Amino acid sequence: MRIRLNNNIGNNVKHILILAIASFCLIMGQDDFFEPGYSIGGYGELHYNRAQTGDDEATTTLDFHRFIIYYGYNWTEKWSLKSEVELEHNFVADGEGELELEQAFVNYHTEKFGLQAGVILPSVGLINEYHEPPLFVSVERPEYNKYVIPTTWFGNGFAVYGSMSGLNWRVALMEDMEGEGIGAGIRSGRGKGYKTTAYDWVKNISLNYTGIAGLRMGGSYTMNNAPINNNPDSTVSFGLAEANLKYDANNIYAVFEYGNISYENNPGGYTSSGGYYLDWGYNIAGLVGLEGKLMPWLRVSDYNRGTTDGTVNPDKHYSIQRFGLTYWPISNIAFKFDYGTHKTESANDKKTLINVGVGYNF
């Protein structure tokens, strides 16, 4: 007895068999289906800034602060190149503006383990690695992330990283800082990959947890015996300890960062510096029938750039209060407004700041 299938049933069986074989091959040998290719991205931001101290005449500036292009290439599913070039303030001439290679590294990545080699970023704070304008609410980056954590901090080096069950770790070894540039903070000690030394290496160890939707919390420790004028026998030692927390879900936005830097042989005579900032906001777009996200927010911050044996230098101690309104029509574009005050402890008058900006990433 012979059983014959009609053409439609036979074709369906063929299609099912082909799909099953293709799925099996895809599961058993991913590399057979991988095609090398490149990716392009970037971000940028335009800022209007108005500042006035006491009864002094106000200053206003309009600045396309940053224009960044990302370029990446994937050789295989595990091996890739990632890079980032930044132009600040539209041009570079006569000591103004900056053109920088902020990232350029070979990356090996699996689900649980990876390594990087080239120009990399240390994992310190929330913004140093992830600093695209739609990721923070204010027009300018928080001052904490400039003078306590010197965002954007990058340099030549190596890193290994991994993750398991929402727990992420990373260890990085990078070029030495420049000891002669360290004083009221470590920002001016960044070598930025230009003819840097590796006598002691910057050691950066970080850990964070992202196992709860919308929540990230973690911290890091970074240390270096930074040579003064490239002399390994004369150094400035520092250790930067920081903790951070961010929650962005259920219409609630909350950020807290705290950091402290301890010094030995600081050229400015300081033994420590540090501070914190706290952001709180709430997405009201749904309450007003608006698509996207609309968030009024508040920031409180206090930081110092120089303390000697527990005594804060009043010229280097700052307090900040700021509130603002940020609108994301889509997640990649943010329109921002903020107003607030900046007070130096030793000054009689506060500085009043009004900022308006737009930022994007892609």
pLDDT digits (tens, 9 = 90+) for 295-335: 999 999 999 999 999 999 999 999 999 999 999 999 999 99
Q: Is residue 35 part of a domain?
A: no
Contact at 8 Å (CB) between 170 and 176? no
pLDDT at 22 over 50: no
Closest to 84 measured CA to CA, from 95, 100, 97, 73: 100
Distances (CA, A) of 132 to 48, 129, 298: 18, 9, 20
The parent domain of residue 153 ranges over 43-361
Distances (CA, A) of 176 to 182, 242, 334, 347: 12, 20, 36, 35
Q: Residue 35 — pLDDT band, cuts 50, 70, 90?
A: confident
Q: What percent of the chain has pLDDT over 90?
A: 88
Q: Is residue 246 part of a domain?
A: yes
The number of residues in the chain equals: 362
pTM of the model: 0.88
| Tally of domains within the chain | 1
Instruction: List pLDDT tens digits, range 254-291.
Output: 999 999 999 999 999 999 999 999 999 999 999 999 99
327 contacts: CB under 8 Å, gap ≥ 6: 292, 293, 294, 295, 334, 335, 336
Task: State how far Cα 6 lies from the chain centre.
Answer: 62
Report the run of H or E that residue 101 belongs to, with start and end.
strand 96-109
What is the pLDDT at residue 17?
43
Write the CATH number for 77: 2.40.160.10
Q: What percent of the chain has pLDDT over 70?
A: 91
Instruction: List pLDDT tens digits, range 169-220.
Output: 999 999 999 999 999 999 999 999 999 999 999 999 999 999 999 999 999 9
What is the pLDDT at residue 2?
39
Q: Tell me the two tokens of residue 182.
A: 């360290």
pLDDT at 29 over 50: no
Q: Is residue 25 part of a domain?
A: no
Q: Is residue 17 part of a domain?
A: no
Q: How large is the average pLDDT for residues 104-118?
A: 97
Q: Is residue 82 part of a domain?
A: yes
Q: Is residue 7 part of a domain?
A: no
Q: Residue 32 — pLDDT band, cuts 50, 70, 90?
A: low
pLDDT at 101 over 80: yes
- The mean predicted confidence, pLDDT, of the chain is 92
Contact at 8 Å (CB) between 253 and 279? yes
Q: Mind giving me the DSSP string for 140-189?
A: SPPTHHHHTS-SS--EEEEEEEEEETTEEEEEEEEPPP-GGG-BSBSGGG
Q: Mind giving me the DSSP string for 274-341?
A: EEEEEEEEE--GGGGT-SSEEEEEEEEEEEEEEEETTEE-GGGEEEEEEEEEEEEEETTEEEEEEEEE
What is the pLDDT at residue 8?
46
- Name the β-bridge partners of 110: none
Please tell me whether the peptide bond between 61 and the residue prior to it is cis, using omega within 30 degrees of 0.
no
